[in-house]
Structure 1
Amino acid sequence: MVLVLNRIYFPEGTQGSLEWNGTLVCYTIELPWLGNQRRISCIPEGEYVLKKRYSKKFGWHLHVIHVSGRHLILIHPANNAKKELLGCIAPVTKHTGIGKGSSSRIALKKLKALVYAALECNIVVKISIQSACSAQV
């Protein structure tokens, strides 16, 4: 199973749409692209494996595995990338500004239902991150 995250890059943040089999699952927000610098940049485009993860802070969420030069990249709830993300990806129900969205917990619940069902059937789940545009802004 491969989820596709199509990104649009802006200096203030990164907007995305996450799809599975051509159907929109949710939107995403991330930090801007700043050369994969830890804690201040979104992660590089590419394909990554997703795993279930639990923490006291976020409850059940997703872990993006084997990101080059980075560790503990998560998909967790947040509505403001600059204030709440350190390189992670936040699912949102809708975009409300660059790097901002709303109803993140609702979007994460929808995404987890899809991904966790596949994982429970021992299906490998990947996320393919790509630019929706031919060139980064």
Structure 2
Amino acid sequence: MVLELTRTYFPEGTNGKLECEGKKICNTIELPWKKNVRRVSCIPEGKYFIKKRYSGKFGWHLEILGVENRSLILFHPANNAQKELNGCIAPVTKLSGPGLGLMSRKAFKSLKDMVYKSLKRKESVELIVKS
């Protein structure tokens, strides 16, 4: 499975559209681009792999692997990038401003279910981030 995240950058945050084989899955919000600085920047554009991960804070979620100089970059629910993200990506149902979205839990559940089905079939899940 190949997921494509196409971004639009703003000073206050980064908005995106996440697609699989040309079909839109959801929108996304992230921190603004600040040269890949930990906790304040979105991750660099590029190609990554995704795996299942569990934590007490987020339960079962998705981890993005192979981000240069970064670790624990996740897909998890959030509606405000500046207040709720430290470099991770939040799926949202609807964008409401730069780095802002609505109904993140709903969008996250759809994405997680889709990715988990693919992983259960032993398929690799690739994420391509571009602008």
TM-score scaled to structure 2, two decimals?
0.99
- Counterpart of 2:122, as a letter, is N
Q: Distance in 1 between matches of 2:94 and 2:120?
A: 28
Which residue identity does 1:76 align to in structure 2?
A: H
1:109-128 deviation per Cα after TM superposition (whole angstroms, max 9, x unaligned): 00011100000000000110
Find the counterpart in structure 2 of residue 134 from structure 1. none
Measured on the aligned residues, the alpha-carbon RMSD in Å equals: 0.5
How many pairs align?
Answer: 131
Consecutive unaligned residues of structure 1, counting only runs of 5 or more, are: 132-137
Write the deviation string for residues 22-72 of structure 1: whole angstroms up to 9, x where unpaired. Answer: 000000000000000000000000010000011111111100001001011
SS of 1:128 mapped into structure 2: strand
Which amino acid in the other structure matches residue 93 of structure 1?
T
Unaligned runs of 5+ in 2: none
The aligned amino acid for 1:130 is K
Using the size of structure 1 for normalisation, the TM-score is: 0.95
CA distance in 2, matches of 1:120, 1:56: 22
- SS class of match (1:114): helix
Partner of 1:40: 40
Residue equivalent to 1:83: 83
1:73 aligns to what? 73
Alignment partner, residue 114 of structure 2: 114
Question: Helix, strand or coil: the match of 1:107?
Answer: helix
